[in-house]
A = this chain, B = another copy of it.
Amino acid sequence: MQIRIQTTKKQEMIDLTIKIEEILKKSKIKNGLLNIYTPHSTAAVIINENHDPNICKDILNSLNKLIPEGVWLHDKIDNNAAAHIKASILGPSETIPIRERKLQLGVWQSPMFVELDGPKERTIIITMISN
């Protein structure tokens, strides 16, 4: 199953919880694992709190401070090396347990798509496996 999103900023986080829970609801999986994967090298998937959306801004700001723009070798070809570095650190996927047809997310956990070089049209692939 695929989710398509259009990001609107250079950097932003988009909460995937509702769309992923809809996909799980339509499936026949009772127990197992759900993998969220984004096939892009300047984007990532993380799991964190979104009740206070400032946490998303804090995560993006902290990465921007640690990995400045415009000082890398790849910037001579395509001015987005910092986005590649941040994407490698965060990683393109998360895998979450499913139990009794429910995603075992914590109360303060949301799977978030992380745009690091937008705005762009982006894809997220959802794969479920029974145990």
Looking at chain A's contact residues, the main secondary structure is mixed
A121 vs B7: C-alpha distance in the bound complex, in angstroms? 37
Asked if A33 is at the interface of the complex by the 8 Å CB criterion, the answer is yes
B74 touches A104 (CB 8 A): no
A55 touches B35 (CB 8 A): no
Q: How many residues of A contact B (CB 8 A)?
A: 57
A52 touches B72 (CB 8 A): no
Query: Which residues from chain B contact A96 at a C-beta distance below 8 Å?
Result: 37, 93
B41 touches A97 (CB 8 A): no
A43 vs B49: C-alpha distance in the bound complex, in angstroms? 12
Question: Which single member of B35, B73, B84, B89 contacts A49 (CB below 8 Å)?
Answer: B84
A32 vs B40: C-alpha distance in the bound complex, in angstroms? 19
B47 touches A91 (CB 8 A): yes
